[in-house]
Structure 1
């Protein structure tokens, strides 16, 4: 009888740990992988409404720059090595400095 109770307790505990671990990153709004698969390097500055900069993290080794377009609201990934994107990043950083 005691063996059954211990076995059931272990199974329930493992089930709880598995479910909570799978939900932990999603519940915090964190994506456990890189957001950008492809990047845009062409000059599209005049079509951009806003830009978000995501530094490297444990889940993605790359710096990711995601731009939202004015007309469609579509989000696209920008190539951080493109010269015009570097200028946009420098401008964002300069505006955030006190």
Structure 2
């Protein structure tokens, strides 16, 4: 009887491992990779409606700054090393500290 219980537990354990192995992290609210492929460094400040900033994480080593354009709603990745983008980042960080 003990071997049947052990065998049943092992079967359940293997089934759980197989089921979770193919699950996407995206559905769990975790991004499995970086959002940005390329970045824009030209000044487009007046065209921006919103800015989101993502700090480095285990899934992406880069700080990512994503701007949503006013007219089209299109999202553009900004170059965080561009001087004007650094000012935008500093403004975001100072607003978040208040």
TM over 0.5: yes
Distance 1:97 1:72, change over 3 A: same
Deviations, residues 49-75 of structure 1 (Å, cap 9, x unaligned): 101110000011000111111111111
Structure 1 residues without counterparts, runs of 5 or longer? none
Distance 1:19 1:75, change over 3 A: farther
CA distance in 2 between partners of 1:42 and 1:86 (Å):
13
Q: Considering only aligned residues, what root-mean-square deviation do their CA atoms show, in Å?
A: 2.3
Structure 2 residues without counterparts, runs of 5 or longer? none
What corresponds to 2:85 in structure 1?
85
After TM superposition, give the deviation of residue 90 of structure 1 in Å: 0.6
After TM superposition, give the deviation of residue 92 of structure 1 in Å: 1.0
CA distance in 2 between partners of 1:74 and 1:18 (Å):
39
Deviations, residues 11-61 of structure 1 (Å, cap 9, x unaligned): x75454244244351122222111111000000000111011100000110
CA distance in 1 between partners of 2:26 and 2:15 (Å):
18
CA distance in 2 between partners of 1:18 and 1:68 (Å):
40
What corresponds to 2:95 in structure 1?
95
What corresponds to 1:40 in structure 2?
40
